Chain A
Amino acid sequence: ELKVEQNPLFLSMQEGKNYTIYCNYSTTSDRLYWYRQDPGKSLESLFVLLSNGAVKQEGRLMASLDTKARLSTLHITAAVHDLSATYFCAVDSQGAQKLVFGQGTRLTINP
């Protein structure tokens, strides 16, 4: 059974700093998603990573996928307060036709 683990689960950082959120998964998959959720809001799709070595960037966020290590990272560069949210990775459970979500990383960026 596919398991998806994120770390850290909570992250408090200062504006202007860089940090990385990690997403590990337990079985083979070549499709991984990152979502953002603001408090009391829905989930917003950020990135879709479809192959080994895939890298996507949008503003201060960059996501990458290493299917051999079963690892994805979400890197935050020069954080700003507006990036405060909970970030989820989700992995395609191949054959099971469903996404399995990580626990979420609650990111707080302090001015």
Chain B
Amino acid sequence: DTAVSQTPKYLVTQMGNDKSIKCEQNLGHDTMYWYKQDSKKFLKIMFSYNNKELIINETVPNRFSPKSPDKAHLNLHINSLELGDSAVYFCASSRTSGGIDTQYFGPGTRLTVL
């Protein structure tokens, strides 16, 4: 049973295209996140949603638009892809427990923009 799943695992596309990454968690968690991990392995939060409500929106270009249709899903749509968007994108989820509980990460989506 996969706790946090993402699709696709690999995504290769041309500059200027629009693409989406999907994430689903079956842990019953209330909060979901998107992280970007760059080529130097640095991991930075992009967005978080709690019960479908946007909680965190870091300084991310507005070409990136998250969408949470329900508590178990958080998708990431990227418009007009640029070379600098190449990275690994991780989805994560956690319970809401009056603070930040342990986050469980998905397998990652490696995005390559040519």
B-contacting residues of A (Cβ < 8 Å)?
31, 33, 35, 37, 41-45, 48, 86, 88, 92, 94, 96-101, 103-104, 106
Contacts and interface: CB of A to CB of B under 8 A. Distances in A.
Given A97-B100, A98-B56, A103 B41 contact: yes
Contacts of B48: 97-98
Given A42-B107, A45-B104, A98-B100, A104 B90 contact: no
Contacts of A48: 102
A94 B43 CA distance: 18
User: SS class of chain B's interface: helix, strand, loop or mixed?
Assistant: strand
A88 B43 contact: yes
B105 A42 contact: yes
A67 B13 CA distance: 45
Interface of B: 40-45, 48, 55-56, 90, 92, 99-100, 102-108
User: SS class of chain A's interface: helix, strand, loop or mixed?
Assistant: strand
In the complex, the 8 A-B pairs of residues with the closest C-beta atoms, listed nearest first = A43-B105, A101-B43, A42-B105, A104-B41, A92-B100, A42-B107, A45-B102, A98-B45
Given A97-B48, A99-B45, A92 B105 contact: no
Given A41-B108, A99-B45, A101-B44, 8 more contacts: A37-B41, A41-B107, A48-B102, A92-B99, A98-B48, A98-B56, A100-B45, A106-B41
Contacts of A94: 99
